[in-house]
Structure 1
């Protein structure tokens, strides 16, 4: 913990903000899929979720582009302000006196766009004030904080979203407001005026700025693999959430009724608790594995494991799978991040980081598409789709690493 207090204040504050943002997001995010399915059906829900991710993809690219000309703080303020407005709208539309799922969707769309818009600037700010020596510790701390906040947020969401939704949404709005105040009063700008790029704000200017990344065949291959990993990682928020809500066999454990929504929370809590307690041990255990081997094995465990959960409807088999899935995540995550850093053009890290921020929305679009497709293909078809994504991700990881090795030998 003493190392944490030695970090730049901006990094300390960003980690605090990340804890708040992830906690409020995980308390409502997975449950909103169930919410939309209940009010609008699986088919419409799939299209709505796709639209959210498309908007997030565009916002992430644009936010990354502007963070080099506006400065980090201005982009963060704009994005987080949108989050506040979005969560306030969502809360107002779910009061005890009035519920409107359609305007609720608009509110969450604004919040998602704001989060995506601010994320590249937050990442760039962290890089601005960190060093090669402490960056590994910072990423490890962020990963630990993310999982701790997910555990807390998922617990709150699973137990209170159905019975105290209005109060929970008010809490998310307050959390976003706290993050906005932190940026406004305590975060300092890390990109001096003299370092800011003179670039346009048009769509064409954004396209030209990212063209260099698209021409890097090795990095594009690795990003295709990253999209597959994002599809796998987002399964609990999308198809698994809908599957459990509709098909899980309600049971009782220690006098507590476990229905689909709460089973999703049990899976998430198991996952994050294992990571918080065992991540250090697992990192040491697989330290001798190459990044490629760890990435392939971890991706396979996660992809196959989630595909099987799409077919399960009972408590104990799902809990066992949750443990196995978490082992796969702890194997793949550090290896994948290490490979991504090595794949980047070290002279263009800012642009590459902005492009990387758009990978999650693309993966989420595909993951939400499984929700819509399941209307036609069912649980088995959804499981087979995820297996196809898993194989594709492993293939493109291998191709990218092969190109990286060829570069090393030149």
Structure 2
């Protein structure tokens, strides 16, 4: 608590806005795939989701540049306004008198653009407002808060999304307005002076070309992609493996089959993070960032590799424990290393470029599902170990290189 009270005011307020936004976002956004599939069918839903991802990716990249031109706070406010606008339109399109899935999609597209536009500015403000001494604590705290929010939000969505979508959307509007007020009246600008002269698309391209020339940061991004391929497996091959190979069993009178086993793995992961994150942050406080990142990545890779070669309840729970230990150790260290490698004059652009990690990792994770018919469970396990090892090599080398900006 003492360490939290010593944080910059912006960071304290950020913990509140993150909790509220993640709580309601996780109750609605994951369930929108079901919503779209119901009205549009699976094929069109896939296209719509790719469209949202593509547009959001571009918005995030441009938002990172704008955060370096105009500052963090104006872009956070602009993104927040777009978010609120999208939620208002979505609520209007899902009332007792009118249900329009087409308008709803357009509304959530606007909201996704707003969130993606603001995200690099939010990340940049966190870096600006933190110090080398407390940055690891800040990232661990935010990560812990997000996990609590997602756990509670998933429960809210499961109980209320189908029958009370309008009420959830109205709550989302209220939260987004509250967060906007916090940013507008509670937070201060953290960028000391503008470092870019143009907000044009060409200006953004030049800014990102400069970031791409930073060999150290690009090597770190490669390492981050490799590790992200491993960490995304619950949504990809692990789900396929459990669905096809898990030996159905009974626990406390409840039948556990593949899908339920995947939920148990997720539950173990979330509960451990919520209850033990602060403990592991303290236990690894004296570790170097490179060591924590490497140890966490090893546990991550070993945990997923083990989960691919077993198909019974308790070994899979053990695998979930191992990979969660890796997650708690590596995530704060990895995010702190990333922040330390950013050119202070271009933090927005650096944060924006980091947004490529998730979609690239998702593409490769999807390809691995197709390739799993060739590699099999043991081959996939070996690949997880290889990706984890290569990630450690890349991020460690990047951390030890001299900055060239």
- 226-235 or 313-322, which deviates more: 313-322
| Alpha-carbon offset, residue 254 of structure 1 | 7.6
Distance 1:5 1:407, change over 3 A: closer
Match of 2:58 in 1: 58
Task: Please state if 1:399 is matched with 2:394.
Answer: yes
Alignment of 1:252-263 (within 5 A): none
Match of 1:215 in 2: 213
Match of 1:333 in 2: 331
Match of 2:77 in 1: 77
Asked if structure 1 preserves the Cα contact closer than 8 Å seen for 2:306 and 2:381, the reply is: no
Distance 1:366 1:405, change over 3 A: closer
| Alpha-carbon offset, residue 118 of structure 1 | 1.0
Task: Please state if 1:351 is matched with 2:346.
Answer: yes
Distance 1:352 1:25, change over 3 A: same
Asked if structure 2 preserves the Cα contact closer than 8 Å seen for 1:59 and 1:113, the reply is: yes
Alignment of 1:160-179 (within 5 A): 160-179=160-179
Task: Please state if 1:103 is matched with 2:98.
Answer: no
Distance 2:248 2:162 in 1: 15
Distance 2:109 2:348 in 1: 23
Asked if structure 2 preserves the Cα contact closer than 8 Å seen for 1:56 and 1:361, the reply is: no
| Alpha-carbon offset, residue 398 of structure 1 | 0.7
Match of 2:200 in 1: 202
Distance 1:120 1:404, change over 3 A: closer
| Alpha-carbon offset, residue 41 of structure 1 | 5.0
| Alpha-carbon offset, residue 365 of structure 1 | 5.6
Asked if structure 1 preserves the Cα contact closer than 8 Å seen for 2:230 and 2:388, the reply is: no
Deviations 1:272-317 (A, max 9, x none): 2211221233345566876556545534554565588799999877
Asked if structure 2 preserves the Cα contact closer than 8 Å seen for 1:57 and 1:362, the reply is: no
| Alpha-carbon offset, residue 111 of structure 1 | 1.8
Deviations 1:231-256 (A, max 9, x none): 44455567878999999999998899
Asked if structure 1 preserves the Cα contact closer than 8 Å seen for 2:308 and 2:380, the reply is: no
Task: Please state if 1:24 is matched with 2:24.
Answer: yes
Unpaired runs of at least 5, structure 2? none
Match of 1:228 in 2: 226
Unpaired runs of at least 5, structure 1? none
Distance 1:131 1:296, change over 3 A: closer
Asked if structure 2 preserves the Cα contact closer than 8 Å seen for 1:370 and 1:382, the reply is: no
Asked if structure 2 preserves the Cα contact closer than 8 Å seen for 1:20 and 1:175, the reply is: yes
- 21-30 or 399-408, which deviates more: 399-408
In the alignment of these two chains, the number of paired residues is: 402
Task: Please state if 1:367 is matched with 2:351.
Answer: no
Distance 1:93 1:334, change over 3 A: same
Task: Please state if 1:145 is matched with 2:145.
Answer: yes
TM-score, L = length of structure 1 = 0.78
Distance 1:49 1:305, change over 3 A: farther
* Equivalent position SS for 2:69: coil
| Alpha-carbon offset, residue 205 of structure 1 | 0.4
Distance 1:400 1:300, change over 3 A: closer
Distance 1:38 1:380 in 2: 34
| Alpha-carbon offset, residue 18 of structure 1 | 1.1
| Alpha-carbon offset, residue 204 of structure 1 | 1.1
